[in-house]
Amino acid sequence: MHQSTANQLMVYLSVTDWITSVTYLTTIPLNLYPRTFTSDVACKLIFFCNVSAFSCSLVMVFLVTIDRFLTVYEPFSTWKFTPFRCKLITAGFIALTCGSAIPDLLMAQVRVIDVQSSEANVTVKGHQCGKSEQGELLLLQKISNIFKIVCFVSILTCFVVMYYLIARKVYKSKQKFLKHHINEHSNKALDLNTRTTTLDDSHKAVNGTITSFQSNQVQALATAEDTRKDIRQETAVKQRKRNTTNDINCKITLMIFLMAIASIVSMMPYCVRAFVSGWPWWWELLNNAAAINSSVNPFIIGFCNSEFRVYVKSILRCRNVK
C-alpha cells in the first residue's frame, strides 16, 4: 500500500468522525424539548443527518480494513488502492450510506402525544420528534430495519474473515522468518566446527616442530582469538531497526482493528434496537453509545502512535513542538 493512500484514508476517517461528532450535537434539542418539539423539517434533518453520519463512520472503518487486507494479505498482487480509487470508492460508499438513510428522512415526523401533568392532574397535547408508526411508513420502517441489520451482519462477517486471514498471514510470515533464522545459525555453527578442525590441525603441526614451537604457538593463539571474534560478530543477534515498513504496517493494522471493534460494539445496540419495542431507559443509553465510535478513534490513534502521543503531550505542556 502506498503511504499516501494510508494517510488519505486516515484523513477521510478523521473528517468523517469529526462530522459525526458535530452532527450528534443536533440531538440536543430533542432532549431539551422532548414534549414541545414542533418543527417537522428539523426533525427530518436530525434523523437523516445522524443516521448518515453514523453509517459513514462505520463504512470508513470498513474501507480502511479492506485496504489493510489488500496490503497485508495481498489476495490480488496487481490490484491495490490508489489515491484515485480511494476517492472514487469513498464517494460511492458515502452516497450509498446517505441513500440508505432516505427511509429515516421519510419516516421522521413530529408526533402528537398525550402528556400527563402531575400537578394539575390533567392530560395535555404535546409534540415529539420520532418515527411514524402509520401503515405504509410502518412497512417502510420494517424494510429499512431489515436492510440495516443485513448490512451490519455482512460488515461484521467481513471484519472477522479479513482479520482472520491477516492474522494467519502474519503468523506464517513469522514462522518463515524464524525458520530462516535457525538455518542461518546452523550454517554458522557448521562453519565454526570447520574452523575448529583446521585450528586443531595447525596445533598438531606446531607440536611436531620443536625449533619453532614458541613462535608458532603464539601465532596459533592469535589466530584462535581472531577466529572467536569473527564468530561472535557473525553469530551476534543484530538489533533490529525500529519503525521499519513491517512495523508501520503492523501498527496501522492493529489501530484499524481496534477501531473496527469500537465501531461494531458501539453500533450493535443501535441495530438491535430496531427489533425491540418498549425498551427500558438503560437500553436508550446504550443506543446513544453509537457516538462513542467517533470519540474513541483519536485515543486509539494516540495509543498506537508514539510520535502522536509526544506531540499531544508537548501541546498540553505548552512546549515547543519540534
Angle at 141 between CA 24 and CA 265, to 5 degrees: 45
**Please, what is the average pLDDT of the chain?**
71
Using the 8-state DSSP alphabet, how is residue 289 labeled?
A: G
Q: What residues does each domain of the chain span?
A: 3-169+248-308, 175-235
pLDDT score of 95: 92
Give tens-digit pLDDT for 2-53. 456 777 887 888 788 778 878 877 777 776 777 777 888 888 898 899 888 8
pLDDT score of 141: 80
Rg (CA), the chain: 32
Cell numbers 611436531 correspond to what residue?
Answer: 208
pTM of the predicted protein model: 0.63
pLDDT score of 92: 92
Give tens-digit pLDDT for 236-286. 444 445 556 666 667 767 777 777 777 667 666 665 655 555 555 555 555
The C-alpha cell that represents 53 in the structure block: 453520519
The whole-angstrom separation of Cα 195 and Cα 193 is 5
> What percent of the chain shows pLDDT beyond 90?
3
Query: What CATH number matches the domain at 3-169+248-308, 3.40.50.300, 1.20.1260.10, 1.20.1070.10, 1.10.3720.10?
Result: 1.20.1070.10
Q: What secondary structure does DSSP assign to 99-155, as a single string? A: HHTHHHHHHEEEEEEEEEETTTTEEEEEEEEEE--SHHHHHHHHHHHHHHHHHHHHH
Cell numbers 455482512 correspond to what residue?
Answer: 154
What spatial distance separates the first Cα and last Cα of the chain, rounded to whole Å? 28
Nearest to 16 by CA among 69, 52, 70: 52
